[in-house]
Every structure is written in structure tokens, then in C-alpha cells.
Amino acid sequence: MHTYFFLLGTTSKLSFAELSCVLNQYHPEQLSDHIVRLETAEMLKPQELQNCLGGCVKILQGEVVLPAVSPQEIAKAIALLVPENRVTFAFGEFNRAAEEQIAAAEIKKELVALGKSARFIAGNRSGISAAILLHQQKVHEFVVITSPEHSYLARTVAVQNIDDWTVRDRRKPYADRKKGLLTPKVARILLNINRSFDHSKQRVVLDPFCGSGNILLENAVLTDAGIGVDLDKKSVRGVESNLEWFSKTYQQSHNQRVYLGDATHIPEHIAQVVTAIVTEPFLGKPKPKPEQVPDIFRGLAKLYLGAFKNWRSFLPNGAPVTIIFPHTLVGEKEYTMDALIDKLLPLGYTTVSGPLKYSRPDAIVSRSIYTFIFKK
């Protein structure tokens, strides 16, 4: 058996939901908020998998079950795992908050005693950042991860390419932050969750509120076909420029199309090829006054219900719909879309995932992610 560990990002519940969908056949086990264990009979392709995921920071492979967690045992294991005489390493620990921290300097001392020339890159208790590992590829990162049964010495085998994510987040030509902006990583997570429920032979994703086009851009990275619709001419032109920029930047075709249109009246020539919907609809004002919230939520519920009714006319049986709904707290009263969700079941939409809640720092309106399966 092969043991792998996944270090999840800041939105750990959302990241775990994504991982569970992408690797559902392996039954991932969450050891703590940010560490997931996976056991497989076959070896995975860690970097390929890492490049697919939006919510994973690092993938580690369990190399050794330690008889004792000590500098001596860790150094002995590293000496066997790194055959070169010179070792440059970083060290971290997870799930050992109650134990005394092991110093990398002590491990280095033991490695020298074993005849190795050793140096270490200092980091925090959980190791060094993915960004450092990305740019210092000769560094071996080893991490002790304690589970209820064992303490493993794991080696980092894949890291998130933060540079690549930053390119799509900050360098695309068009973004309208006044409308709210779904981050590329969250867009990817939504797509991966939705993808796991889409059993069509030729996947075509519709984003009927495409905004700045982040869902379409991440869909292009995954090489799935996509269609975007938006009421705003400026947004449609902006998304077209973003997709053109994507093809030039990544030297690949994108297979995404964008149309001016209404999410509650998707044209038939667009709708007939759609197999799934992934979207962040209009969520209302980002910083509404408390007295405005009831009317805003009533208006949004009406908009969303109209869209869901229209989508029934073209979605194939079993099509997944992954969508973000707003929720907020005004005083002690919580405003949600729960009443809307109750109305969706008679329309043929069954909840299969969610609510997965997340919010940006300082955000007044938070988000809840749901996935529905449409049954005719």
C-alpha cells in the first residue's frame, strides 16, 4: 500500500470536499483540519494531481513509519531515503501540538554523525512554504505526521504552483471587482466538485452569470468545453479578451464560448449542448446597509428561482448544478436561501453537496456552495 498526505489550503472544508470528489474511490480520511490521509494500492501521479486541484497546497508521500519520533530516528530514515552524501532539507511536523518541537538543527547534527554533509532551510513548525519549495527544487522537505495509529515520516512530492495561480488571478486583462470576483482557486474547486457528478460523455459547462470569466478560464485549464452568458456587454467583451489572453499566455486553445444573454432565458442553440452548470450568480451589494438586506435577499431569491426554472427546459437527466448562494447576519437574524432551496426539490433539483460555507476576510455577505442533481 502507498500512503499519501494532502495539505489543504485556508478554506479547508471546501478543499476537503474537492479532494473527496476528485479521489472519491480512495475514501480520503481527514486527520485534522488541514491534513488528509489517503491509502492506495497503486502509486498516484502527485504533481499531475496537484496541478488539477484548487484547494491543495502540498502532496506528501509517507515513506517510513517511525518507531519513535526523535532526531536520531528521523535522521536515520532521511539518510536511507537520500542516497547523496550532501543533504539539503527542510523539516516540519503536523498533529504534534502537545509534543515538544523537534529542531531541524538536531536532525542535522545526527545526519552529520551518520557521515552526511547536511544543511537545512529554516521554516515554521509545519515546514517551509510551497513557494520556497517551488523555487528551490533541490531541497528535500520531510514532515512528521502523527495519526491515531502511527507517526509517519513523509516527504513532499508535489507543491502548488503559486506563480501560475497568480498569473491568472492578477494578470488577465479584464476584472470587475465591483461585481465581486470569484478567485481562480475557488472557481477550480467548484468545477472539480461539479465534474465528479457529471457522467456525460462530452462535458460542456455553462456559467450563466459569467462575470469576469474565472470559471471559464479554470475550465479551459481542465480542457473541458464551456459556455458563458452575461447580461452585461462589458463583461462579455472582457471575458472574450481574457480567453484570448489565456490562449496566448498558455499557448493552447480554450474551447470556451461567450454570449450576451439572460441567465433566466438561455437561448436554445446554446442550451442544447449543456451537460452541467457551474456559477456564482449576482450576490447583491457587497456591503449593503442592514435595512436593505431583506429586500435584497427577496430579489435574489426571485432571480435564482427564475433561472432554475429556465434551466429545467434544457438540462439533461442527471445534470449537476454547482452554485454559490449568499448568506449574511444582521444583528441576530440570519438571511439565507433556505426557503429557495425548499422550492427546488419539486422542480427536480436534489441537493448532493453543501452547504459548504466560506467567506473572504471583512466580507459582510458570505457564500454557501451547493451542488444539485437535476432529475426529470
Average pLDDT estimate for 99-112: 93
- Please state, as a whole number, how many other Cβ atoms lie within 10 Å of the Cβ of residue 260: 12
Average pLDDT estimate for 114-138: 91
C-alpha dihedral (254, 260, 266, 267), degrees to nearest 10 = -90
In contact, 122 and 104? CB cutoff 8 Å: yes
pLDDT one-digit tens code per residue, 72-97? 999 999 999 999 999 999 999 998 87
- CA distances 89 to 79, 111, 183, 197, 364, Å, are 11, 11, 33, 41, 43
Q: What is the chain's mean pLDDT, rounded? A: 94
Per-residue confidence (pLDDT) for residue 126, from 0 to 100: 86
- Rounded distance between C-alpha atoms, residue 156 and residue 154, angstroms: 7
- Rounded distance between C-alpha atoms, residue 231 and residue 253, angstroms: 25
Three cell numbers written together for 234: 462589458
Three cell numbers written together for 180: 465581486
Domains of the chain: 2-160 (3.30.2130.30), 164-374 (3.40.50.150)
Does position 180 have pLDDT exceeding 70, yes or no?
A: no
In contact, 121 and 91? CB cutoff 8 Å: no
Model-wide pTM > 0.75: yes
- Rounded distance between C-alpha atoms, residue 102 and residue 81, angstroms: 19
Percent of the chain at pLDDT above 70?
99
Confidence of residue 137 (pLDDT cuts 50, 70, 90): confident
Confidence of residue 51 (pLDDT cuts 50, 70, 90): very high
- Please state, as a whole number, how many other Cβ atoms lie within 10 Å of the Cβ of residue 192: 22
Three cell numbers written together for 85: 552524501
Per-residue confidence (pLDDT) for residue 365, from 0 to 100: 84
Percent of the chain at pLDDT above 90?
83
Angle between helices 233-250 and 214-221 (to 10 degrees): 30
Does position 44 have pLDDT exceeding 70, yes or no?
A: yes
Q: Which of 137, 211, 231, 214 is nearest to 170 (CA)?
A: 214
Per-residue confidence (pLDDT) for residue 289, from 0 to 100: 86
Confidence of residue 360 (pLDDT cuts 50, 70, 90): confident
Does position 362 have pLDDT exceeding 80, yes or no?
A: no
Confidence of residue 321 (pLDDT cuts 50, 70, 90): very high
Does position 212 have pLDDT exceeding 90, yes or no?
A: yes
Does position 285 have pLDDT exceeding 90, yes or no?
A: no
- Dihedrals phi, psi of 60, to nearest 5 degrees: -120, 150
Per-residue confidence (pLDDT) for residue 364, from 0 to 100: 78
Average pLDDT estimate for 221-241: 97
- In 66-212, which ranges are E strands? 86-94, 117-120, 140-146, 151-159, 204-207
Per-residue confidence (pLDDT) for residue 205, from 0 to 100: 98
Query: Where is 357: in which H helix or E strand?
Result: strand 349-358
Ranking 14-18, 285-289, 355-359 by mean pLDDT, the lowest is: 285-289
Confidence of residue 154 (pLDDT cuts 50, 70, 90): very high
Three cell numbers written together for 43: 502509486
β-pair type (366-374, 349-358): antiparallel
